[in-house]
Amino acid sequence: MVTRLYTHPIYLDHLTPPGHPERPDRLRAVERVLEDERFSLLDRRESPRGDEATILYAHPASHVEKVRAAIPHEGLARIDADTSASPKSWEAALTAIGAANAAVDDVFSGAADNVFVAARPPGHHAEKTRAMGFCFFNTAAIAARYAQRRHGAEKVAIVDWDVHHGNGTQDVFWDDPSVLYCSTHQMPLYPGTGAKDETGAGNIVNAPLSAGDGGDAFKDAFRTRILPALDAFRPDLIIVSAGFDAHYRDPLAELELTEHDFDWATAELMDSASRLSGNRLVSLLEGGYDLHGLAFSVAAHVARLMRG
């Protein structure tokens, strides 16, 4: 089992205001935990710079130019109440896209069985025409379209276990039955979307959880809604929007998951990928704002990817 890791120093140069939860230390925590000896066989690669044209797979040119214009020459610029940009933010976002697309190439070519992309800024809140929730561009959505356009994937599934609903991914694929979007998340919580009755073209499967829910409710959501949806859909690729802010230590929400729950979910999705998708699974880091909870959870997730 070959598990590849993509990361890049540029991700540390995307700066946010003091006290902002989406900060460079998140990546430093991930990097430190993956230096452990048990990850010695991880196939480590530097993220390539993305092709700007691929952003148009999920966003109109007007949105791309709006984000580009918002990048400051110095200091920080606020895009919305939660989302800030610094001079290197454009390069960081573009390199995150490059890594996700390279990961898709890897699993379709057989260069890797699965891939984890440790990048920032995250992406799943970015709607077609709106940057929000710490996100500029929807990396997972771009990667799904990339798989379809470059590798002939007919159907792609995106499974999102970030504690916040991926409103952006839902927005991009709302009326596109070739992409299945499945999400567990806390409700009510930012951004306010993700109810069970939000079903798009029958391709949106939301499994909201309540504050205080732990591993049992999370696993039940997978067993009753997400895994059956994957079986019925039979995707050619599974992309995971792997946010770890449902961990009980996280300051931005009230779910009670542990790293063992993420290990379990990873194993379940790997089994689905084995049966349905030729083992093709790409995992993209989204949220996770307590540094210890994030590190423990990423370690469990990547260790499971490596074990197969």
Query: Which residues are annotated as catalytic?
Result: 125
Would you state the torsion angle of the CA atoms of residues 50, 23, 114, 126, taken in this order, to the nearest 10 degrees?
-60
CB 177 within 8 A of CB 156: no
Cα–Cα distances (Å) from 21 to 18, 82, 124, 288, 293, in that order, read 9, 10, 16, 9, 13
Q: Residue 147 and residue 151: Cα distance in Å, rounded?
A: 5
Per-residue burial over 59-87, b = 16 or more CB atoms within 10 Å of its CB, e = otherwise: beeebbebbeebbeeeeebebeebbbbbb
- Distance of alpha carbon 104 from alpha carbon 96, whole angstroms: 13
* DSSP string computed for 160-188: E--SS--HHHHHHTTT-TTEEEEEEEESS
